[in-house]
Amino acid sequence: MAIQIEPAMTVSEYLEWEKRQEVRHEYIDGEIIEMTGGTRQHSEIMINLTLAIGRQLDDSPCGLQSSTMRVKIGQNRYVYPDLSAVCGEGLMEDERELTLLNPILVVEITSPSSLVYDRVDKFGFYFGVPSIETYLIVDQDRVRADICTRTDEGWLVRVFNHPEDVIPLTAIECELPLAQVYRGIAFARA
């Protein structure tokens, strides 16, 4: 007996379908991934990041984009990073300006359900995008941020896990104190 497999959604079908959805969906090589709602800690960390970085960009040619900005990371790959930044003119894929093509920085805040996806899959996807110079992964359940920076020799990965640490975001000429990222966050005791 033959098993019939449904064909994967094409990019154009996804883009048209996504316009009508109330919930955002990422698209990876034909697979649709629903973006679930975030926790209170996730939301607070995102606000802290936005404020800490945004304050430093007031007189900068760089600007932040929220998690509602879709980013194209490959011919058949579209994602919604928690934050992204672009310096200079943002190149858009479409006239409605729904899809950014040239982020210089992407930020993901991990959750238990997204930990592997953010640290493994997206890690590889983002490295293949020429405009991305920095990938920042922030943990929502403990004090930890991994910064991946493009260098001439490849990618440099550094881990910051002390509240007094300051993360260099050289791509956008900012510094990010880890204490500001986790301001107001109380972690559950194990």
Q: Is 95 exposed, middle or buried (0-12, 13-18, 19+ CB in 10 A)?
A: exposed
Res 165: pLDDT = 98
Domain residue spans in the chain? 39-181
Candidates 52, 171, 56, 54; CA nearest to 106 is 171
One-letter amino acid at 126 equals Y
Domain 39-181, CATH: 3.90.1570.10
Q: Tokens 């050289």: give the residue.
A: 170
Res 70: pLDDT = 96
Residues 155-168 as b/e (b if ≥16 CB within 10 A, e otherwise) read eeeeebeeeebebe
Q: Which residues in the chain come in under a pLDDT of 50?
A: 1-5
Res 190: pLDDT = 56
